[in-house]
Amino acid sequence: MIDLQITSENPGWNTDLPDYESVIERTVHAVFSTCPVAAEIKGSVPSIEISITLSDDESVRILNRDYRGKDKPTNILSFAMQDTEDGWEYPTPGLPCTLGDLVIARETLIREAEDEAKSFADHFTHLIVHGTLHLLGYDHIEDEDADEMEALEINILNELGIKNPYLLPGGD
C-alpha cells in the first residue's frame, strides 16, 4: 500500500490542476510499477508513505536556503528519509516505510513549463516522477547516475503517455 499525504498550500494549484491528487496517485503508482528499486521495496514492506506539499516559490526558496544553502526557489525539493550520512539505506523489510517528502514550487513549475513549451500537467507529472526517484535513492550528481535516472524518468513518463521531457521543443 502506498499512502500519499497531499497538502496544497496555495489556492492556485486548484486552478492550474484541479485533479492534482489523481495525477499524483497515478504518477507515483507508475513509478512503483516501473522502477525496479521501487517495485522491490513495495514488495518487501507493508506500507510506504510519501508526503507531497504543493507550495509556492517563497516557501520553497526558504526551504532551499535553509536545507541546501541556495537562497532561491527551485522546482521541487526532495527530503528522503532513507538518505543517511552513509548513503541511501534500503528500508527494513517487513516494517512500514516513510520514504520522505516532496515540496513543489508552483510559480517555478509554471515558468519552466512555459519556457520549455510543455503543458503544466506534463511538467508537474515529470517533477513527481523525478522527486519520487530521489526519495528512492536515485540522483544525478555523477553522469552515469544522471543517465540512469533520466532513462527511468523517460520510461515511466512514456508509460503515462508523456513524451521524453529532455528533448528540445520541436525535437523528436
**Which amino acid appears at position 43 of this protein?**
G
Q: Give the distance, in angstroms, between the CA of residue 77 and the centroid of all CA atoms in the same chain.
A: 8
pLDDT digits (tens, 9 = 90+) for 25-72: 999 999 999 999 998 899 899 999 999 999 999 999 999 999 999 999
| Whole-number Å distance between alpha carbons of 135 and 64 | 16
Tell me: is residue 29 an annotated ligand-binding position: no
pLDDT of residue 169: 62
C-alpha pair distances (Å), 66 with each of 60, 69, 70, 71, 130: 10, 6, 8, 8, 21
β 83-84/87-88 pair status: antiparallel
**What is the CATH number that goes with domain 2-159?**
3.40.390.30
Radius of gyration of the chain (CA): 16
Tell me: is residue 126 an annotated ligand-binding position: no
pLDDT digits (tens, 9 = 90+) for 75-124: 999 999 987 777 778 888 889 999 999 999 999 999 999 999 999 999 99
Tell me: is residue 123 an annotated ligand-binding position: no
- Does the global pTM surpass 0.85? yes
Q: Where are the domains of the chain?
A: 2-159
Burial 106-128 (b: 16+ CB within 10 A, else e): bbbbbebbeeeebeeebbbbbbb
C-alpha cell at 114: 512555459
Among 35-39, 60-64, 136-140, 166-170, which stretch is predicted with the lowest mean pLDDT?
166-170
